[in-house]
């Protein structure tokens, strides 16, 4: 394949001969294509939730680290669920389910407030779960580092 600013040439791998194709003008932008026919991304995400939940359950059932992680949370002196933005909303849901289903208090907290609000009480035996969509949220990483130093928390499971 050879690309120029105004044209493209496609050649067969087998013999190098030129492949002639009709030019097809695509008027959709990448955003439209990624919405899979839905009017907006929120509607797409709503309809994808059942599949995403099934996939999550399969991942959880097949991951050997889940049971030790759950046991560690159950035995924790304090259990913190730390998030930012929409991942903070996930911690609110997690705290609700922890109380209702496990009878266990979990403290949801926004990452920027984690250190100032709970840094002085962190210690061995505490468990903090850091929730991030990207895994690279600065506030999450900072809160995690403080927790590791203050509570001598081990590395993630």
Domain residue limits at 111: 66-151
Q: Are residues 76 and 28 in the same domain?
A: no
Q: Are residues 26 and 81 in the same domain?
A: no
Say whether 62 sits in a helix, a strand or coil. helix
pLDDT at 10: 87
In this structure, is residue 130 part of a structural domain? yes
In this structure, is residue 101 part of a structural domain? yes
Q: How many Å apart are CA 63 and CA 95, to the nearest integer?
A: 22
In this structure, is residue 139 part of a structural domain? yes
Angle, helix 138-151 to helix 111-118, in steps of 10 degrees: 30
Residues 25-46 pLDDT 10s: 877 777 666 788 888 888 988 9
Rg value, the chain, Cα: 24
Q: Are residues 30 and 81 in the same domain?
A: no
Residues 79-137 pLDDT 10s: 999 999 889 999 999 999 999 988 999 999 999 999 899 988 888 889 999 998 876 78
Q: Are residues 74 and 14 in the same domain?
A: no
Residues 2-30 pLDDT 10s: 888 888 888 888 888 888 888 888 777 77
pLDDT at 120: 85
- Pairing type for strands 127-130 and 79-83 reads parallel
Q: Smallest Cα–Cα separation from 111: which of 151, 143, 148?
A: 143
Question: Total domain count for the chain?
Answer: 2
Q: Are residues 133 and 80 in the same domain?
A: yes
- The CATH number of the domain holding residue 134 is 3.40.50.10490
Q: Are residues 11 and 80 in the same domain?
A: no
In this structure, is residue 20 part of a structural domain? yes
Q: Are residues 29 and 81 in the same domain?
A: no
Q: Are residues 25 and 86 in the same domain?
A: no
In this structure, is residue 96 part of a structural domain? yes
Q: Are residues 29 and 83 in the same domain?
A: no
Q: Are 150 and 119 in contact (CB under 8 A)?
A: yes
Backbone angles phi, psi at 21, to 5 degrees: -130, 150
């Amino acid at each position: 394949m050879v690309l120029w600013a105004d044209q493209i040439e496609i050649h067969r791998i087998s013999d190098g001969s030129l492949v002639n194709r009709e030019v097809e003008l695509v008027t959709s932008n990448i955003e439209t294509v990624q919405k899979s026919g839905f009017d907006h991304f929120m509607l797409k995400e709503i309809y994808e939730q059942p599949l995403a939940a099934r996939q999550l359950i399969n991942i959880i059932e097949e991951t050997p680290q889940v049971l030790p992680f759950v046991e560690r949370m159950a035995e924790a002196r304090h259990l913190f669920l730390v998030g930012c933005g929409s991942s903070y909303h996930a911690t609110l849901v997690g705290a609700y389910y922890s109380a209702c289903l496990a009878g266990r208090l979990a403290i949801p907290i926004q990452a920027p407030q984690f250190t100032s609000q709970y840094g002085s009480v962190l210690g061995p035996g505490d468990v903090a779960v850091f929730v991030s969509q990207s895994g690279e949220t600065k506030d999450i990483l900072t809160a995690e580092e403080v927790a590791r130093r203050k509570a001598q928390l081990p590395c993630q499971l």
